[in-house]
Structure 1
Amino acid sequence: MRVFVQDINERVCREEQLRRQLEELSIEIGQEQQKEDVISLTSSDYFQQVQKEVVGINLDDF
């Protein structure tokens, strides 16, 4: 019985460890996707055009 309880405890610990790893990987994947999205957005022709227009705006006029 004691070996059985020890085995269960080890499995529970392993499961918790795997859940933490999965959460960390999900965060990493989310951050990578966000980086890719930003690169895609900022490299678009539309964004480049808007960025050039913004440079020419004089904020003192507002």
Structure 2
Amino acid sequence: MHRSERVSMYGWIWRHLPGNTWVRALVSLVLSLAIVFVLFQYVFPWAEPLLPFGDVTVDNGGGSR
């Protein structure tokens, strides 16, 4: 497999961002922060009731110390 055939997702995104290296880095940072914001504001609260994290039981009896 030639190097040109192994295209990474990140390389493809980087090549399609506008501007020089500094502008691309700034756009990447803004996009990353926007994705994190959307995840914390909308996706995680929506998914939380679907996850079994509230069904945890802790046994207080006779474990080793």
TM-score range, shorter-chain basis? 0.3 to 0.5
For normalisation by structure 1, the TM-score amounts to: 0.41
> Which structure has greater helix proportion?
1
Q: Whose RCO is larger (CA < 8 A, sep 6+)?
A: 2
For normalisation by structure 2, the TM-score amounts to: 0.40
Larger Rg: 1
